[in-house]
Chains A and B, each alone.
Chain A
Amino acid sequence: MAPNAGFVIAGYLVTALALGGYTLRLFARARTARRRSQAIADRRRDR
Chain B
Amino acid sequence: MAATAERAFGKATSRRGEHLLGIATLIALGISAALSLLVAPPDAVQGEVQRIMYVHVPAAWLAYLSFFVVFISSIAYLKTNKTRWDRVAAASAEIGVLFTSLAIVLGMLWGKPVWGTWWTWDPRLTTTAVLLLIYVAYLAVRRITDNPSRRARWAAVIGIVGFIDVPIVHLSVAWWRSLHQGPTVFRLGGPEIEGTMLLALLVGVAAFTITYAYLMILRLRVGRLEERAAREALSPLVGAER
Contact = CB atoms under 8 A, between A and B. Distances in A.
B215 A22 contact: yes
B218 A34 contact: no
B225 to A, nearest CB: 4
A30 B222 contact: yes
Given A3-B47, A7-B113, A23 B218 contact: yes
Given A18-B101, A18-B102, A40-B232, A7 B49 contact: yes
A43 B29 CA distance: 44
Contact of B52 (A7, A29, A41): A7
Contacts of B232: 36-37, 40-41
Interface residues of B, number: 38
Contact of B109 (A3, A14, A44, A47): A14
Interface residues of A, number: 28
A47 B236 CA distance: 14
A36 B233 CA distance: 8
B233 A44 contact: no
A15 B102 contact: yes
A36 B229 contact: yes
Interface in A1-47: 2-5, 7-8, 10-12, 14-15, 18-19, 22-23, 26-27, 29-30, 33-34, 36-37, 40-41, 43-44, 47
B48 interface: yes
B56 interface: yes
B49 A4 contact: yes
B2 interface: no
8 contacts: A7-B52, A7-B110, A7-B112, A8-B52, A14-B106, A23-B218, A30-B225, A33-B222
Interface of B: 29, 33, 37, 42, 47-49, 51-52, 55-56, 59, 95, 98, 101-102, 105-106, 109-110, 112-113, 211, 214-215, 218-219, 221-222, 225-226, 228-229, 232-233, 237-238, 241
